[in-house]
Amino acid sequence: MLLGVDVGGTFTDAVLFDGRALHTAKAPSTADDQSRGVLAAVEAALERAGADRDRIEAFAHGMTVGTNALLEGRGARTALIATEGFTDLLDIARQNRPDLYRLCAPKPTPLVAEGLRFGARERIAPGGVIEPLAAAELDRLARAVRDSGAESVAVCLLFSYLDAAHERAIATRLRDELPGVHVSPSHEILPQFREYERCSTTVIDAYLSPLLGHYLERLGAAAAERGLPEPLVMKSSGGVAPAGEAARAGAWSVLSGPAGGAIGAGLLATQSGDGNAVGIDMGGTSCDVCVVEDGRVRRTDSRQIAGRVIQLPMIDVHTVGAGGGSIGWRDAGGALRAGPHSAGADPGPACYGRGGTEPTVTDANLLLGYLDASSTLAGGVRLDPAAARDAVGRLGSELGLGELDTAEGIVRVANQEMVRALRVVTVERGVDPRRFALLPFGGAGPMHAAALAEELGMGRILCPRASGVLSALGLIASERRRDTARTVLLSGEELTRERIVAEVEALRESIGAGIEEATAEAIYELRYRGQAFELAVAGALRPDPSELAERFAAEHERRYGYRDTDAEIELVNIRLALVVAAPTPEPRAAPKGGLARTVRRARFGGRWLEAQVLRGEPPSGTTAEGPCVLELPESTLVLPPGWRATVDDHGTIAGMRDR
């Protein structure tokens, strides 16, 4: 059996796949120690499957430890060693404003305090060493770090991507003399030019690695104690790595959780559709959206998280604070808002009966009839309609609205936040969403899917049978992957096949230990000489430079509308990924006979309608017409009037909007 466990802000999801059937479970997330929620979800899934732990061959894990630590400022006490005169690089950054029209909008506070920044007396330029690094300087830096009480150190020297000798010497001395302190040298994390992005990424790695290492050590020990395999940890790039490898490089796992969902969306878009879908993962705290084209999830090499740049390969996911636990509130201007603040797992929405008093999206959905007041949600949560009415009613009194109008308003406002996120990854990037299916998942995603699709003119929905735990299923389907990159800056006579091959082989040698059976994939980033930024094109491991130039020119013309036949082309960076394919789970629809049919009132377009309710896992061939509510084991799909659905052999519910 294959096991995948994904930690969300509210629930922790587990999936067991035995080669044919999926066995799923949820448990409340445990914010103080996520490993407790992980093990609880595993035990629940094993109980549902009626299986023993020794049948589990692989254990893949997606987490939010790094993301939460970065957002909440709970990382390690981190020091920075930079070339003397450049220790304030994080403050200077790119000098652009976070908000164009707010001149005083604050930038994020640097993760390294001023007293923990140390200048190294050394200097390397593109042409070689200008100021050597003396042995006495190594001693001074080691003493300074020891005396500072730092738990982790980022080392980022000028031009270390070209010559890492000084940076390597500092890292070696620190590791020898301060064995309890984590060291992140930039030449190991991101050997590329643009010193601010390199420094920011390296500091994030140093800031998160100790915390991530402690967490994975606890989880690994607890898993071994229970007879489970060593966890394979999902990285932001969409591949898994052994826990020990992931623990040494915290920056690579910042988007561990959302990456699993994106991979799961790619899997289902291929199995139950044409491979083209827009995935929307709506959980209890946030909403993540991504684009799947031809079965492959888009990747990016840079993004900002909490205003901080991290320049590493990662799944291209856009996140907004809209989830089932998002709190409805009245702003200073009297407008109704929803999120980004969330009730989370503890206390959770008011209707969970755990002490929450704020009105949330889940409370609104309960009052509108989309959730059944008598049912038990995933994780054993029983709903309390009276608590939901009290919470929503209090907000309605502030707004001068009735209870139902307030509930409908909360849902509409939350939907608009998600529509905005969907437009970011589609319309704003030249993608017509009408050509794609909307693939909702997460515990709350399918409930809002039809409304979101209508807003964007999308006529198809693909709701996976395991939509509530699709991120965990994506972990099972994730390849084992290692990524690296290097700045080469080759042009003119230097841009030869032999030189490119030598650089590719050097990259492969640097990350290939223990993964010799992997397939290599290369990406080449090129630009016209003099341009500030580059475009990425795929290529062979032994590419012809003229072929790379033609691919770049074609991509430049597609992106910007022209190509420059007279300009010299420069190869800036080479990216290399080593990939070991994972088994592809192909779940089957549930057997016939397990679907219960009832009727209840639900509110659509401001009117109460009699909606058909299908409870359970629908078998292949099941059909439904809106208004209809399909209560799946871990999520709920709402079909308004004008929508119909059928279930395919994989158990995926394909919804179509009447034209």
Q: What is the pLDDT of residue 85?
A: 95
At 318 the pLDDT is 87
Q: What is the CATH number of the domain that holds 509?
A: 3.30.1490
Mean pLDDT, range 542-563, rounded to an integer: 94
Which are the contacts of 229, defined by CB distance < 8 A and separation ≥ 6?
3, 56, 57, 58, 59, 223
| 9-24 pLDDT per residue, tens | 778 999 999 877 888 8
What is the reported pLDDT for 181? 96
Of 181, 214, 247, the one marking the end of a domain is 214
Q: How far is the C-alpha of 633 from the C-alpha of 410, rounded, in Å?
A: 25
Predicted local confidence at residue 169, as pLDDT: 97
Closest CA to 460 of 274, 226, 185, 599: 274
Cα–Cα distances in angstroms (integers) from residue 610 to residues 179, 323, 598, 629, 656, in the given order: 67, 27, 10, 10, 20
- Kindly provide the residue ranges of all beta strands, DSSP E only, lying in 381-457, ordered along the sequence: 381-382, 437-441
Which amino acid is located at 655 in the chain?
G
At residue 440, the pLDDT reads 96
Cα dihedral 562, 565, 567, 569 sign: positive
Question: Cβ distance 602 to 370 under 8 Å?
Answer: yes
Give the range among 176-185, 338-347, 383-392, 488-497 with minimum mean pLDDT: 338-347
Average pLDDT over residues 331-359: 89
CA torsion 159-164-167-171 (nearest 10°) is 150
Q: How do residues 138-147 score in pLDDT, each as one tens digit?
A: 999 999 999 9
Looking at the domain assignment, is residue 319 inside a domain? no
Could you list the residue range(s) of the whole structural domain that residue 541 is in? 480-580
**Residue 386 belongs to a domain:** no
With 0.85 as the threshold, say if the pTM is over it.
Answer: yes
- Give the DSSP letter of residue 547: H
Question: Which of 598, 589, 581, 582 is closest to 647 using CA atoms?
Answer: 589
Tell me: pLDDT of 3 over 80: yes
**Contacts with 454 (C-beta within 8 Å, 6 or more apart), sequence order:** 640, 657
Q: What is the CATH number of the domain that holds 183?
A: 3.40.50
pLDDT reported for residue 330: 95
CB 468 within 8 A of CB 172: no
With a cut of 90, say whether residue 65 has pLDDT above it.
no
Measured between alpha carbons, how far is 53 from 51 in angstroms, rounded to an integer?
7
Show the tokens assigned to 377.
């949600």
- pLDDT, residue 385, reads 94
Residue 330: which H helix or E strand, with range?
A: strand 326-330
Q: What is the per-residue burial (b if ≥16 Cβ within 10 Å, else e) of 560-597? A: eeeeeeeeebbbbbbbbbbbeebeebebebbeeeebee
* Alpha-carbon dihedral angle through residues 320, 321, 324, 328, given to the nearest 10 degrees: -130
Amino acid letter, 160: S
Q: Which pLDDT belongs to residue 633?
A: 85
Report residue 496 as tokens: 């030869």
Task: Report which of 478, 587, 9, 564 is spatially closest to residue 286, judged by C-alpha positions.
Answer: 9
Check residue 268 and give its pLDDT. 92
Which helix (H) or strand (E) segment is 393 a member of? helix 385-399
| Residue at 510 is within a domain | yes
Please spell the DSSP secondary structure of 475-526, one letter per residue: HHTPPEEEEEEEEEEEEGGG--HHHHHHHHHHHHHHH-TT-TTPEEEEEEEE
Give the pLDDT of residue 489: 94
Helix H, strand E, coil C: the string for 435-489 is HCEEEEECCCHHHHHHHHHHHCCCCEEEECCCHHHHHHHHHHCCCEEEEEEEEEE
User: Whose CA is closest to 63, among 38, 100, 28?
Assistant: 38
Q: Check: CB of residue 495 under 8 Å from CB of residue 481.
A: no
Residue pLDDT, tens place only, 303-344:
888 788 999 999 999 888 888 889 999 999 999 999 888 887
Residues 300 and 219: their CA atoms lie apart, in Å, by 29
pLDDT range class, residue 527, cuts 50, 70, 90: very high
- Model confidence over 470-506: pLDDT tens digits? 999 999 989 999 999 999 999 999 999 999 999 999 9
| Residue pointed to by tokens 């999206």 | 361
Closest by Cα among 317, 343, 310 to 328: 343
User: Which one of 171, 188, 214 terminates a domain?
Assistant: 214
Among 170, 199, 214, give the residue marking a domain's end.
Answer: 214
pLDDT confidence tier of residue 346, bands split at 50, 70 and 90: confident
DSSP character at residue 328: E
Angstrom distance (rounded) from CA 377 to CA 396: 26
Res. 215: pLDDT tops 70: yes
pLDDT tens for each residue of 257-286:
889 999 999 999 999 999 999 999 998 878
d(CA 462, CA 478): 20
Mean local confidence (pLDDT), 102-124:
91
The sign one gets for the Cα dihedral 38, 39, 42, 43 is negative
Question: What is the residue-averaged pLDDT of the chain?
Answer: 92
What does the alpha-carbon distance between residue 518 and residue 295 come to, in Å, rounded to a whole number? 21
Per DSSP, which regions of 211-325 are E strands? 232-234, 240-242, 277-282, 287-293, 296-297, 299-300, 303-305, 308-310, 314-315, 318-320
Residue 378: what pLDDT?
A: 60
Q: Which two tokens stand for residue 288?
A: 């993540």
- Max Cα-Cα span within the chain: 81
In a domain, residue 52? The reply is no
d(CA 281, CA 623) in angstroms, rounded, equals: 24
Residue 412 · residue 317 · CB < 8 Å: no
Per-residue pLDDT at 78 exceeds 70: yes
Instruction: Report the interhelical angle of 165-177 vs 135-148 (nearest 10°).
Output: 50
Q: How far lies 630's CA from each of 137, 265, 455, 641, in Å? A: 67, 20, 21, 14
The single-letter DSSP state of residue 642 is: T
Please check whether residue 548 lies inside any domain of the structure.
yes
Instruction: Tell which wins on pLDDT, 417 or 65.
Output: 417
Paired tokens of 272 = 């139950």
Q: How far apart are CA 387 and CA 383, in angstroms?
A: 9
More confident residue, 594 or 201: 201
Q: Are 607 and 439 in contact (CB under 8 A)?
A: no
Residue 179: inside a domain? yes
Q: Long-range CB contacts (< 8 A, 24+ apart) of 489-494?
A: 489/193, 489/570, 489/571, 489/572, 490/570, 490/571, 491/529, 491/568, 491/569, 491/570, 491/571, 492/568
When computed from its CA atoms, the radius of gyration of the chain, rounded to whole angstroms, is: 26
Name the residue among 542, 531, 610 with its Cα closest to residue 572. 531
Non-local (6+) Cβ contacts of 196 within 8 A are 89, 90, 92, 93, 94, 309
Lowest mean pLDDT among 336-340, 376-380, 614-618: 376-380
pLDDT of residue 183: 97
Is residue 261, in this structure, part of any structural domain at all? no
- Encode 2-22: b = buried (16+ Cβ within 10 Å), e = exposed: bbbbbbbbbbbbbbbbeeeeb
Q: What is the pLDDT of residue 641?
A: 96
CA 297, CA 266: separation in Å to the nearest integer?
6
Q: Domain count of the chain?
A: 2
Our measurement of the distance from residue 135's CA atom to the centroid of its chain's CA atoms, rounded to an integer in Å, reads 43
pLDDT, position 379: 59
Whether residue 206 lies inside any domain: the answer is yes
